[in-house]
Amino acid sequence: MKESYIAAKERWAAKMAGKAKPLTRSKDRLPPGQRQVHNFPVLDLGVQPEVSLSNWALKIGGKVEIPLSLTWKDFLTLPQFTDVSDFHCVTTWSQFDMQFSGVSFFTIADLVKPTAAASHVFFKCYDGYSTNNPLDVCMDDDVLIAHSWNGKPLTKEHGGPARVIIPKRYAWKGAKFIREITFMDRDILGFWELRGYSNTADPWSEDRFSNAATPPPGFQSETAIY
Ligand SMILES: Nc1nc2c(c(=O)[nH]1)N[C@H]1C(S)=C(S)[C@@H](COP(=O)(O)O)O[C@H]1N2
Ligand SMILES: [Mo]
């Protein structure tokens, strides 16, 4: 087992036990090329699917020992987790100190038990959006499937009933309106990754677009299609 995984799980266990040290935030929290905003902009594909809680299900499968489909009630019965993180959108806005509550990715992984073959995770959403991440990016102490933001249920425009939060990646790597989580033995590209966005999406290295610091010719930006 990788040491980084064990260390992340240890940090997470401390958070779950309420024993995590308060985060000392560096002064330098704004990744290069970003500006801080104090509102919470909405970015979507122009569709905000209406999913009633009674119809909501989160399917989790692929390279796992125990595939599952969680109802809303099942989801809320799982151990609950609250964390504060910063949010960076590739369209250059960042918002600090976002408090999200929900279920940790670690909790989901412990339930379904990814097999040794699992190396990547593919996320599918109720609006047709998708995104992909390496498994080790998801297995971190700050990654969760959130149902609340700042103590209130996530609104539909921000991805309710539930959305994925991966603070160390640009926000497009976090699926709103989450519907399905598939553990994969290979990487497949999601919606924006197929359209010129970086597959790795690290805000600290301004890893915005695939193979180039600037958009490739003909690149359609997020905002252009809204
Ligand atoms: N299902 C879904 N998830 C999505 C998107 C989307 O269009 N559909 N947009 C992504 C992008 S590009 C960003 S920046 C964030 C925006 O989240 P927000 O609208 O809550 O700010 O969600 C990400 N997750
Ligand atoms: Mo975005």
pLDDT higher than threshold 50 for residue 64: yes
CA distance 226 to 209: 19
The proportion of the chain whose per-residue pLDDT surpasses 70, expressed as a percent, equals 92
Cα–Cα distance for residue pair 100/178, rounded to 1 Å: 15
pLDDT of residue 89: 95
The reported pTM is 0.93
140 close to 2: Cβ distance less than 8 angstroms: no
Q: What is the mean pLDDT of residues 21-38?
A: 87
Residues 13-29 have a mean pLDDT of 85
pLDDT of residue 14: 95
Give residues with Cβ within 8 angstroms of 119, minimum separation 6.
134, 135, 184, 185, 186, 187
Mutate to test the pocket of ligand 1, among 150, 176, 181, 208 (most ligand atoms within 8 A of CB): 176
The candidate with the shortest Cα–Cα distance to 98, out of 166, 175, 32, is 166
Mean pLDDT on 115-132: 97
Tell me: pLDDT of 164 over 70: yes
Ranges 44-48, 173-177, 180-184: which has the least confidence: 44-48
The label of the residue with tokens 């553990």 reads 183
Give the whole-number percent of the chain exceeding pLDDT 90. 85
The Cβ-side half-sphere exposure at 68, using a 13 Å CA radius, reads 16
pLDDT value for 96:
96
Using the atom order of ligand 1, give the atom closest to the CA of residue 164.
24
- Choose the residue to mutate in 43, 155, 194 for probing ligand 1, maximizing ligand atoms within 8 Å of C-beta: 43
Domains located in the chain, CATH noted: 2-19+55-225 (3.90.420.10)
**In sequence order, what are the residues at sequence separation of 6 or more whose Cβ sits closer than 8 angstroms to the Cβ of residue 112?**
60, 61, 64, 65, 66, 67, 68, 183
* CA 19 to centroid of ligand 1, rounded, Å: 31
- Assign 216 a pLDDT band (cuts: 50, 70, 90): low
- pLDDT tens digits for range 181-214: 999 999 999 999 998 899 999 999 999 998 655 5
Ligand 1 cavity residues, CB under 6 Å: 40-45, 89, 125, 127, 129, 158-159, 171-172, 174-177, 222
* For ligand 1, atom 22: residue with the closest CA: 172
